Structure 1
Amino acid sequence: MQYPRKFLGTLAACLTASATALFAQSPVDYHTQIEPILESRCYRCHGPDKQESNLRLDRRISMLKGGDLGALVLVPGHPEEGELLKRLKSDDLEFRMPREGAPLDPSEIALIEQWVKEGAKWPGQMDAKEEKKTTDLWSLQPIEKSAIPANGSANPIDAFLQEKLSEHDLTPNPAAEPHTLIRRASIVLTGLPAAPERIEKFATDFKANPDQAYQELLDELFASPHYGERWAQHWLDTIRWAETTGYESNEFRKNAWPYRDYVVESFNQDKPYDQFVKEQIAGDTLGNDLGMGLLVAGPHAPASTVGQQPADIKQARFDRLDETIQSVSSSMMGLTFACARCHSHKFDPISIKDYYSMAAVFNDIEYDYRTPDLPAEHPRSAAGQRIMSAIAQERSQFENKQGWVEKWPDHLKVHFPESTTKSIRLNFKPGNFSLDEIQLYASATSTQNLTQQDGIQISSSKKEEHATRPVDYLIDDRLDNFFVWKHKKGESVSTPWVRIDFNDEQTLSRAELSVNRLAHYGWQYMVNKKGETVGGEVPWSFQSIEVLKQDGTWLTVVDAEQIEKNPESQQRIDRLNELALEHDKEAPPPVFIGKLIKPTKMHVMYRGSPTSPRAEVTPMAMEILDGDFGQSSDTPGPERRAAFADWLTAPDNPLTSRVMVNRLWHQVFGTGIVSTPSDFGKAGGTPSHPELIDWLASDLMDNGWSIKYALRQMLSSDAFRRSSAPSEQWSSVDSDTRLLWRFPPRWLEAEVLRDSILLAAGTIDLTPGGLGYHIYQPKLRYDQWKVVDNYGPHTWRRMLYQQRMRRVDDQMFTAFDFPDCAQIQSKRTRSTTPLQALNLMNGNLVVQQAEHLAKRATEEAGPVLDDQLRHMFMLTIGRQPETDELDVTRALANTNGLPSVARTLYNLNEFFYLN
């Protein structure tokens, strides 16, 4: 008689422990011994009908892969590695499975353990392969370039838009007036209104030949250096770039600004967007290091905030990786990847494995400074080569057996005769001093830090090391430590020392010693409690270096006191110190674009905790988009990022071009075809014109990924050139103007508003690039930045060049939705508050610039008041005043003076709206 399988399973589950042991003598049978246990205790939550955490226990392939938490449930042959036995055996009620009811009987657990140990044999499923994931998410479908609708529209964009307008029986507005159109195009492309004389010329040319005049205007605007400044601001918003770290200390990132200038230049050059993307992800492989500033654009907690506890350091490291993932995924992919850090994405097909595979891609990037590899013809490169040649010449004058010490602005370089040894000892003068990092090199020009080897031992003269700052932090290759190894005056040791022992003999000839070297860059504008400027102090307490000889005795290879006694050597050292200072000022400086480190193995972190690693993952992009590059945990970091960049810019990637053309559309028309520019997932918006966004995305790629080309298409459309006049009838059908029956008016961004005020007054300094202007007072480490001058002459540059600090109110333009840069902000919020009106009427900058505008009108328009008023209208809102407007402003000028008229014009809707 053949019994039903379920009956046999029930019988097996009820056996005593001794009977189970008897079964274990022969191979465990899945169907009769394991499946009944899983079916009765596990399938309710992880079976065919319900899969909590996206995990099915009725399929072997699902158990091998794991669920949303990223941990492998089953590792055949290794029960101790899989999650299954860990959960079944746990005493933690939150962790143990099953959560409902009593735990499994020990005999059942033993049976499952034996089954796994034997290879988890599962008849009928041993050769099962996982089905390829699919999704109905629109943004992950292939891009299809639809045929352009044949409705008589000259511009393909208008052809697609007209289809929707016709569906809703909407009649579009007529074309805008010439003075409105030139102001609109000028602000959209450069962020600056056109000059009065250019407006008048355009109006004249427009009457004769509208299309030619308009295309010539676009040519001029695209060629302007201010075009790159305008569009760089949009990109910097997208990645929330700023020049401070954020968090409690909010330290300044000196030399973060070269990345800003890189973005400006890239837009001005019309760098193909795919190249722009690649340089920002893997610029070190393409000869453009500066582009990689994107990878470290977000906030990060510096070492002073993190502390030295190992768990905190790990957490901070993964927080920094998360910021990088956010910057890349939101700006270039339009996906909220960070939502998968603790579990698979709740809405989109992004698994926790996808998240940590992407973390593996960027695991060689650290938030830090790096000296960029600039082209040889770059002025700073030439200066650096010249100065280093002079330094080499001075160094060559020292005798081979002689050592010397160079004082660079941020550290000491100690040179000594080439020595082969297994141990080196650095001695210091007694007293109050601190040391944070020791680096050892084989030669004067070597870049390989020999302390970064396995098995190195370090010890010191201190009897008791600080619990949270052990002496081995002196060789952790982190230049942003501070106060790691402190020695106080009066401590018992007469000569403080640090000893480093190698596994094998090493050839050494240079040591570099520093005290928080990066303070030289990051602590700019910082003071101590006494009000004194602080920075990276050099450890002048250095005394000598000794190396251990084979006979066990110590040999002094450099002695600072002996050097000081030799006038000739000291003069040469003084020259070297001068050259070092010159090099710091003129050569390529370390820039905040990320330090390259050796990537470690990456694991899925259980519930996002770096202290709970689970399955190892390799560098990959999204699985659902075939993001497997065929790489391993041993693949060098630059290769990982280069492969990711190639995947991201491949023609069949459905995200990159879609996301970018939508961002362009958003900035041109005020709202994207997808209203959520950084979220193309299921929680984001859906395209108002699906065929159009795909046509634009495909057209961008077909035309060399040219941003200027795509923008010209948009600005040449009838939709862009329409009047913004409202219509009660059409607003009832399309209240948010997504169908573009009119040009949607909108607030000017804070930067455009401020720049327009300065431009009208004639005070703006349009010098491009370089170090930004500073408006804050020096601060203590954990104080906040406070604005002391945001309207003085040194600030009269474009607002793009205001040093951008996180968590700071600039006391005027924050009221106009100037972003904080702490969070991803793909589009500016638009608010209307009393503070805006108060700032535009009474703010220090407005009052000051109104005086300058009045003075300019008097100087340029002559003595006649009406001429002055007309000129002020042209300078501010780009048109001549109507008769009644002239009457009102004339009366105001006669009563309160021209500056009052200027303030009134600055407060007109026409001035701070784009119509």
Structure 2
Amino acid sequence: MNQCTTFAKRIEMIYVGSRIGFASAVMLLLVGFVTASEPLYQNTFDDPQQIEPLFQRFKSMKVVDGVLRLEHANGHAASPTLPVPFTDGVFRFRFKLAGADRLVCRFEDESRVVKAKAHLCRLEFRPGSASLHLNSPPKDRELRQDALFATHRQDFADDEWHSVEISFFGETLTATIDGDTKLEGRHEHLANEKLGAIFAVQKGVVLLDDLSLTLIGTEPQPEAVTAGDDLIGTRGLELFHDYIEPMFKQHCYECHSHEYEEASGGLVVDSRAAMLKGGDLGPSLVPGQPDESLLLEALVYENDAIQMPPDGKLDAQTLEYVREWIELDAPDPRNSISTDQPAPSGPDASKLWSVQPLAEMRPRGSIDDLISQKLEMKGLASSPDASFDVLVRRLHFVLTGLPPTIEEANSFVESAESDLDTAMERRVDELLSRRQFGERWGRHWLDIARYADASGTTSPRPYKQAWRYRDYVINAFNLDKSWSEFVRQQIAGDLIETDSAAKRAEGLVATGFLALSHVIAATRDPETLKLDTIDEQLDVVGKAFLGVAIGCARCHDHKLDPFPTRDYYSLAGVFRSSSSYQPSISQESLTLEGAELGITEADAVKVVAPWLRGGKGVKVHSVKEADSIRDEPIHLRGEVEITGEVVPRGFPTLVAAIDVPPIPEGSSGRRQLADWVLHENNALAWRVIVNRVWQHAFGQGIVRSTDNLGFTGDPPSHPELLDHLAWKFRDYHNGSFKSLIREMLLSRAWRQSSVLRRDAMDVDPENRLLWRANPRRMEAEAVIDSIQFVCDQLDLGQPDKTSVPGFKVGNQGSTADLKIPGVTLKRRSVYWPVFRKDVPNSMDVLGIFDFPPATAPRGSREVTRVPSQSLALLNNPFVIDNARALQKSLLSNASLADDRDRLRVLYQKLYSRLPTPKEEAGSLEFLTQFAAGLEITESAKPGAVHSVSWNRLCHALLVSNEFVVVP
């Protein structure tokens, strides 16, 4: 009988004749079997029965000509640990990658759950590389870099045998591959541990041979206590009936039984067969091996990633009963229930309208033709044109966010009276050329980019260079940067090759789209911080370009949209391979990792814009390729520590019409991601951006849920129109925002009156068919800017940067009391600092009018209309001060002869029209009566009565509904 057969027989003898269980039996066997020089274990795999207890978790296991063939498809199977005490030792084996993605050899301590990171070290082989990972790095900072990670590049091709020898000596681990020492690391926890080896195969087949383990310095252990089979069976059933089954019913069945269509984690525990099959993490029960059973691992609460029951750890005595029950082979008399969980029926992308190819809409009609067709089907007609004074105010509001001056309004009305079409064309072209256009439309994109001048909501920290990205966006709209270039720069601007220093700097600044993420600075674990940042970047990319919220797929296949977990982690690998932040040593804060622009003030002279200049040491918030390019494993249930199959970097599969661009080795894939978004067949992305533009031009999108074009979003009101515009934007306008906006604003549909009509209200009360214009309440920035503009208090200049005195790194608590400089508050509000926590009191008008928190992409803002908004404006110092300035300018204007002239100028400033006779009479009567009331009070000062009366009138008209709503 050879040594391997003797090994198997002794396992059988000890296991049958004792209550200590398989793992303990193996340890006793091995200790008694070894001497200081001979191999503790040596196996050529010539006996299939011998290896079955060691490799039970694999999908398929065969012995062919003395070689073990291990096959697994889902990437989570592994052999059990063989724990043995040792100081020094050598572990040897041969392997062949026969189509497998990865072979992992892990070394774990005896309990397997001493800490959240169960394995102390891991050797990983992939085609083309090997890597050594050591957990729990040394406290000695000088050793930290050597101990954390090492890698070796080598061609591990299929069908080639490779020999591996892993030596443990004190605190040093050395890996020798094919006779050459390749990897070496130091680890303070290696010495004096009880280690065992675990093999894991990812999706494919690995051939294993010549496995041996030689240990030095072991000590004999006492013999095991023996007991008969009958005693073992009786005791096990008693434990099950008295303690185990009641525990399952009380603490586990609510989430882990067949009564639920989808049990948590795919695991059910209401039958032995179900536990042997297990869930997402593999079998939950390994009979006879409590330390290999995930059930006990979850119950003992020693692994932070899996702790059950979630409402509190069980008492120590119950845990001891569970351990003993498993050691006794886990007898369970319950009738087996089918463990086949119903396969999740994910949404079918072929049925989602937004991913279908664009309809061929080569000029078959205009915007007005396609809208009229819908109206005619319902027996409706368009509304007549709005009045000229309404149109000029609407034009200026949509394109610049500011009202027209009296002169601009009068000029338009005069031109429109002779030729409205020509007047519209000229005014649209003129407004598109103004810098205020970029400030207005750039703010729309900053909402989507969740732009802010500070980090997360907890312990916020200033992003001192964030203003550069803001100015980049404004500049992009003013220069009419094409959509293609705009997307490529923001996703991969650092990777675009250029000979121009200014272009290189522009690309770096543009990647602030990814770098200025909403992160929780207090997160201490660097890996959790990285995955949360990746998740946040995926969220902004998904919503901004695809109109799909993909965050759900971090934990499971998206249940409402065709976005599986595999797609999530294929994209996650792209951003894992990109670096955008560097955690501090304390893990209590983080600083964005950026790049120097390289354009100094001296170099720039006056040619380069301020947001592109940066001297030595000035780093912008940007993204770059990571030092280590790698794919990301699927994190089961989104848990950091629980990983499954590694997914190659790639792009969502929901758009089937695209040939996926290959990602070159050594590249993150961000350039290819930008190409994928902009692909001519990515109809989803083209629909999303065109719908966003339509929303800001018309007040609501063709798809009202602008950030959600998935199954749960609103259907398009005019699908043919959306496709028509998407095709034109791509192929006719060549991605020009100005050209697309011009076409929309010059349509008849856009210049309709917003007056209600009873006939249309009965048929289409929500105006989905566009039978009239949508009146719109100004956004917060437009309210603020317009108030200061009409009161001659707005500074239209562009600041060089944005800074907030007193806002420092580590600023704790609320930012509400921060003092914003008055010179900043006189600028357009797009240049005000943006905080993710607590808008400063001096900027509270933003909050009153629904300024969105910069914590997530928002293509559509909430619009509330409540009385408290009017009350807040009536009592707001900002509004009161501006009303006083407006009153002074009217009373000091020597060209205005009397109150009637002043009133007409006031109405033209505020509403771009003259007052009606009734309004004029009422306003003049108010001035007279208010003055009379002041004159009878003892506190009234001579000469002040007239000023106060006008101040109250200016204030009342400034906060009126007509001022803050554009008809």
- TM-score normalised over the length of structure 1: 0.63
Q: Whole-Å Cα distance in 2 between the matches of residues 686 and 78 of structure 1?
A: 53
Alpha-carbon displacement from aligned partner over 1:794-833 (angstroms, at most 9, x marks no partner): 4111111110001213433301111111233221111122
CA distance in 2, matches of 1:772, 1:105: 59
Closer, same or farther: CA 595–206 of 1 in aligned 2, 3 Å? same
2:350 equivalent in structure 1: 135
The AA in structure 1 aligned to 2:690 is: V
Matched, 1:606 2:606: no
Secondary structure, aligned partner of 1:732: helix
* Structure 2 counterpart of 1:289: 508
Q: 2:775 aligns with which of 745, 751, 755?
A: 745
Residue of structure 1 in register with 2:217 after alignment: none
Q: CA separation in 2, counterparts of 1:744 and 1:107?
A: 59
Report the equivalent of 1:275: 485
Report if the CA contact (8 A) 1:314-1:611 is conserved: no
**1:811 counterpart SS class:** helix
3-state SS in 1 of match to 2:383: coil
Residue equivalent to 1:500:
none
- What SS does structure 1 have at the residue aligned with 2:749? helix
Matched, 1:176 2:386: yes
Residue 715 (1) aligns with residue 934 (2): no
One-letter code aligned to 2:921: D
Matched with 1:728 is: 758
Contact 2:461/2:808, CA 8 A, preserved across alignment: no
Aligned counterpart, 1:163:
373
How far off its partner does 1:695 sit? Answer: 0.6
CA contact (8 A) 1:300 1:320 kept: yes
Q: 2: CA distance between counterparts of 1:244 and 1:782?
A: 12
Q: CA deviation at 1:872?
A: 1.0
- 1:857 equivalent in structure 2: 890
Contact persistence 2:400–2:440 (CA under 8 A): yes
Q: How big is the alpha-carbon RMSD for the aligned residues of Structure 1 and Structure 2? A: 3.8
Deviation at 1:766, TM superposition (A): 0.6
Q: CA deviation at 1:870?
A: 0.9
1:171 to 1:584, Cα distance in 2 relative to 1, 3 A? closer
Distance change >3 Å, CA 599–CA 667, structure 1 → 2: farther
SS of 2:391 mapped into structure 1: helix
Relative to structure 1, is the Cα distance of residues 590 and 142 closer, same or farther in structure 2, using a 3 angstrom cutoff? same
CA shift, 1:746, in A, is 1.5
> Quick one: which of 579, 588, 591 aligns to 1:365?
579
Q: For residues 728 and 807 of structure 1, do their structure 2 counterparts lie closer, same or farther at Cα, with a shift above 3 Å needed?
A: farther
CA separation of 1:887 and 1:774: change in aligned 2, threshold 3 A: farther
Give yes or no for the alignment of 1:845 onto 2:874.
no
Q: Does 1:873 align with 2:907?
A: yes
Q: Which residues of 2 match residues 752-767 of structure 1 at below 5 A?
A: 752-767=782-797
Match of 2:686 in 1: 657
Does the 8 Å CA contact 1:271/1:706 hold for their aligned counterparts?
yes
1:251 is matched with which residue?
A: 461
Deviation at 1:641, TM superposition (A): 0.7
Determine which of 926, 933, 952 is the counterpart of 1:900. 952
What is the DSSP-based 3-state SS (H/G/I as helix, E as strand, rest coil) of the residue aligned with 1:604? strand
Question: Secondary structure in 1 aligned to 2:490?
Answer: helix
Q: What amino acid does structure 2 have at the position aligned with 1:306?
A: T
Q: Structure 1's 75 and 103: CA in aligned 2 closer, same or farther, altered over 3 A?
A: farther
CA deviations on 1:17-41 (whole Å, 9 max, x unpaired) are 9xxx99968999xxxxx999xxxxx
- Contact 2:598 2:613 (C-alpha < 8 Å) held by counterparts: no
Aligned partners of 2:663 and 2:672 also within 8 Å = no
The answer to whether structure 1 residue 263 and structure 2 residue 467 are counterparts is no
Structure 1 position 382, deviation (Å): 4.3
SS of corresponding position for 2:441: helix
1:770 corresponds to 2:800? yes
Aligned residue in 2 for 1:785: 815
Alpha-carbon distance in structure 1 between the residues aligned to 2:707 and 2:208: 42
What runs of 5+ residues in structure 2 fail to find an aligned partner?
A: 1-15, 17-44, 53-57, 61-73, 75-99, 103-199, 210-247, 257-263, 287-345, 497-503, 582-590, 931-947
Q: Choose the corresponding residue for 1:102, options 245, 258, 272.
A: 272
8 Å Cα contact 1:621-1:628 kept in structure 2:
yes
How far residue 753 of structure 1 moved from its aligned partner, in angstroms, is 0.5
Give the Å deviation of 1:615: 1.2
The answer to which structure, 1 or 2, has the higher relative contact order (CA under 8 A, 6+ apart) is 1
CA contact (8 A) 1:259 1:593 kept: no
Q: Secondary structure of 1:719's partner?
A: coil
How far the C-alpha of 1:339 sits from its partner, in A, is: 1.6
1:258–1:858 Cα change, 3 Å = same
State the match for 1:333 in structure 2.
546
1:146 & 1:620 partners in 2: Cα distance?
31
Q: Give the Å deviation of 1:636.
A: 2.4
CA distance in 1, matches of 2:815, 2:640: 32
Aligned counterparts, 1:18-167, within 5 A: 75-77=204-206, 99-103=269-273, 135-146=350-361, 156-167=366-377
Assess if the C-alpha contact under 8 Å between 1:778 and 1:785 holds in 2: no
- Residue 812 of structure 1 corresponds to 845
Change (3 A) 1:132 1:859: closer
Distance in 1 between the 2:747 and 2:595 partners? 42
Of 629, 632, 636, 2:667 maps to: 636
Give the C-alpha shift of residue 584 in structure 1.
12
1:697 and 2:726 correspond: yes
In structure 1, what is the equivalent of residue 586 of structure 2? none
Three-state SS of the structure 2 residue aligned to 1:889 is: helix
Q: C-alpha separation between the residues in 1 aligned to 2:765 and 2:687? A: 25
Note the C-alpha offset of 1:208.
1.4
Q: Is the Cα contact below 8 Å between 1:135 and 1:349 reproduced in 2?
A: no
CA distance in 2, matches of 1:775, 1:671: 38
Distance across 2 between alignment mates of 1:673 and 1:911: 27
Greater Rg over alpha carbons, structure:
2
Tell me if 1:686 matches 2:686.
no
Shift of 1:605: 1.0
**What residue is the counterpart of 2:185 in the other structure?**
none
Distance 1:181 1:250 in 2: 43
Question: What is the aligned partner in structure 1 of residue 621 from structure 2?
Answer: 592
Matches for 1:3-14 after TM superposition, within 5 Å: none
- How many residues are matched? 622
Q: 1:293 to 1:35 in 2, by over 3 A?
A: closer
Could you tell me which residue of structure 1 aligns to residue 66 of structure 2?
A: none
Residue type at the aligned position of 1:678 = D
What SS is found at the alignment partner of 2:619?
A: coil
Change (3 A) 1:661 1:380: farther
Report if aligned partners of 1:340, 1:355 keep a CA contact under 8 Å in 2.
yes
Call closer, same or farther: CA 1:107–1:97 in 2, change over 3 Å.
closer
Structure 1 residues 788 and 341, CA gap change in structure 2 (3 angstroms): closer
- Give, in whole Å, the separation in 1 of the partners of 2:925 and 2:277: 98
Counterpart residue number, 2:520: 301
Distance of aligned partners of 1:790 and 1:889 in 2 relative to their CA distance in 1, 3 Å threshold: farther
Quickly say closer, same or farther: Cα 1:787–1:882, change in 2 above 3 A: farther
Aligned to 1:215: 425
Residue in 2 that maps onto 1:514: none
Measure, in 1, the Cα distance between the counterparts of 2:419 and 2:785: 31
Paired amino acid for 1:300: V
| Structure 1 residue ranges without an equivalent (≥5) | 1-16, 29-33, 37-51, 53-62, 66-70, 81-90, 114-130, 151-155, 386-582
Does residue 200 (structure 1) correspond to residue 410 (structure 2)? The answer is yes
Task: Measure how far apart 1:102 and its partner are.
Answer: 1.6
Matches of 2:881 and 2:917, distance apart in 1: 28
Q: Deviations over 1:408-440 (max 9, x none)?
A: xxxxxxxxxxxxxxxxxxxxxxxxxxxxxxxxx
Residue 557 of structure 2 aligns with which residue?
344
State how far apart, in whole Å, the 2-side matches of 1:333 and 1:157 are. Answer: 24
Q: How far apart are the structure 2 equivalents of 1:76 and 1:761?
A: 76
Correspondent of 2:857 among 820, 824, 833: 824
- In the TM superposition, what whole-angstrom CA distance separates every residue of 1:59-114 from its partner, at most 9, and x where no partner exists? xxxx999xxxxx9996444899xxxxxxxxxx99876866442237989999xx9x
Q: Which residue of 1 aligns with 2:94?
A: none
Shift, 1:159, TM fit? 0.7
Tell me how far 1:867 sits from its aligned partner: 1.1
Rate the CA distance shift 1:614–1:209 in 2: closer, same or farther, 3 A.
same
